[in-house]
Amino acid sequence: MNIKKIREDFPILNQKFNNNELVYFDNAATTQKPQQVIDAVSDYYQKYNANVHRGLNFLSQKATDKYEEAHEKTAKFINAEGIKEIVFTKNASESLNLAAYSLGEKISSGDEILISVMEHHSNIVPWQMLAKRKKAKLNFVNITSDGRLDLDDFEKKLNKKTKIVALTKASNILGTINPLEKISKTVKDNGSYFVVDAAQSVPHTKTNVKKIDADLFAFSAHKMLGPTGIGVLYGKEEILKEMNPFLTGGDMISKVSLKEATWNKLPWKFEAGTPNIAGAIGFGEAIDYINKIGIENIEEHEKALLEFGLKKLKEIDKINLYGPEKEPRTGIISFNLKNVHPHDVAQILDENAIAIRSGNHCAQPLMEKLKVDGVARISFYLYNTKEEIEKFVNAIDQTKKVFGV
């Protein structure tokens, strides 16, 4: 990978703040966009802005072709069967809410739902609401001392009452990559539905939904170079066919009378109203860009950055690191400086034009498990460099001096 050449594709990386070049280490929150994606969105609005699936004019036909092409690119990227299995939503959170709402119709009083303590709120709150609505029981799989999913605890808590298992593929705090390929067979043998939050894994590792064998699988475009406001819910065709829509309205219907309505074919029965056409087209371009670089190359680059970053941070006194010591894990490093609030760390880094995130990261149950109020987090992507990590480490030393650590 030619990182210098790649960085030239991202206009935002050219700017300075306080006379310092921008170091963007908040990729787990959202990624920056290459010019190719920006141009694709602009091109849509300038040259063929029209609604999809609703017109015979040439503008509408081109917009529809591009919109459906984005579904096809997404399906190929994760090795789905085709566009029937790719539902576009506004983000991974909506995808998981769709999953909880529609699968929730199959839940009865006394049934159980199994998730883990390392989940993002988007894969906790929808299941909490479902459990309350249906008087079901929500169980949590614990984590090990080194931040991995406790597989023994998982097997103890999975039982014949468990109707849905919903787990993250990769933690947004710990970087842990969970062995869902192994877990899925156990889930299926138990007769449970398997839902996966893949928002933190799809952008960083090669994804094969057939190998994971999830029934439903959620992720977002903006975490993988795409625009905001566009997410994905992959679903096995037979599962999506038996699910009722989450939203209703235009284009998701086949026929409407004064008494009833019937649904459109997949995936359109889950895409009510005018969709984020520009976002979908931009997402398709983001996938093209990632394919051009190679997801395996991106993964190897991030591993090298992670190894280098961990080595440098372990040399710093009075710092706590969270997450597994060894692979598999993504390019996320969460940490705390002793007696320094993570927001203060983020503030000093920001003054040095280093963008990170601090707080509970929408994972308060995990914060409670770690016995902290919050953490500072850096997260890498394909355009980051070891030189940027060196700048970050120097800024951490500066932070320690400011607070007398």
Residue 232 and residue 162 share a domain: yes
**Last residue of one domain, picked from the residues 291, 309, 340:** 291
Q: What is the count of structural domains for the chain?
A: 2
pLDDT at position 249: 95
Q: Are residues 309 and 161 in the same domain?
A: no
Determine whether 360 is exposed, middle or buried from the number of CB atoms within 10 Å of its CB (0-12, 13-18, 19+): middle
Furthest-apart CA pair in the chain: how many Å?
Answer: 72
Same domain? 48 vs 14: no
Contact 375, 173 (CB under 8 A): yes
- Residue 374 sits in the same domain as residue 229: no
The per-residue pLDDT for 256 is: 96
Give me the CATH number covering residue 210.
3.40.640.10
For residue 19, what are the domain limits? 3-26+295-403
**Whether residue 278 sits in one domain with residue 251:** yes
Domain boundary pick from 291, 324, 347: 291
- The verdict on 43 and 168 lying in the same domain is yes
Residue 54 domain flag = yes
Residues 266 and 362 in one domain: no
> How many CB atoms lie under 10 A from the CB of residue 287?
23
Asked, for residue 31, whether it belongs to a domain, the answer is no
- DSSP lists the bridge partners of residue 97 as none
On whether both 172 and 217 belong to a single domain, the answer is yes
The residue-averaged pLDDT of 91-120 equals 98
Q: What is the mean pLDDT of residues 260-272?
A: 96
**Mean pLDDT of the 258-283 span:** 97
Q: Is the pLDDT of residue 292 over 90?
A: yes
CB neighbours of residue 295 within 10 Å: 19
CA nearest to 153, candidates 166, 144, 162: 144
Which residue type, as a one-letter code, is found at position 16?
K
Q: What is the mean pLDDT of residues 65-69?
A: 98
Residue ranges of alpha helices (H) inside 250-333 are: 277-293, 295-314
- The answer to whether residue 32 is domain-embedded is no
- pLDDT tens per residue across span 183-195: 999 999 999 999 9
Do 279 and 302 lie in one domain? The reply is no
Which tokens in the block code for residue 99?
A: 């999953």
The number of residues making up the chain comes to 405
Q: Mean pLDDT score of the chain, rounded to an integer? A: 97
* Residue 169: inside a domain: yes
Residue where the block lists tokens 């006379």: 19
Distance CA 346, CA 323 (A): 20
Nearest Cα residue to 351 out of 16, 11, 18: 18
How far, in Å, CA of 328 to CA of 181, rounded?
A: 13
pLDDT at 55: 86
Residue 350 domain-assigned?
yes
**Residue 140: inside a domain:** yes
- Confidence band of 394 (pLDDT split at 50, 70, 90): very high
CATH for 13? 3.90.1150.10
Q: In sequence order, what are the beta bridge partners of 167?
A: 196
Helices vs strands, H then E, count in the chain: 14, 17
Whether residues 327 and 282 fall in one domain: no
Of residues 396, 378, 393, the one with CA closest to residue 340: 396
Q: Which of 262, 291, 320 is a domain's end point?
A: 291
Is the model's pLDDT at 405 over the cut of 90? Answer: no
**Structural domain includes residue 222:** yes
Q: Are 95 and 270 in contact (CB under 8 A)?
A: no
| Phi–psi pair at 141, nearest 5 degrees | -80, 135
Catalytic residues: 362
For residues 304 and 233, membership in a common domain is answered with no
pLDDT given for residue 327 in this prediction: 86
- pLDDT at 43 (0 to 100): 98
The burial of 333, by beta-carbon neighbours within 10 Å (0-12 exposed, 13-18 middle, 19 or more buried), is given as buried
Q: What would the mean pLDDT of 39-47 be, rounded to a whole number? A: 99
pLDDT tens-digit series, residues 331-389: 999 999 999 999 999 999 999 999 999 999 999 999 999 999 999 999 999 999 999 99
Q: How confident is the model at residue 326 (pLDDT cuts 50, 70, 90)?
A: confident
44-48, 71-75, 159-163, 400-404: least confident range: 400-404
| C-alpha span between 142 and 117 (Å, rounded) | 6
Strands 253-256 vs 231-235: parallel, antiparallel or unpaired? unpaired
Is 139 a member of any domain?
yes
- Are 210 and 255 found together in one domain? yes
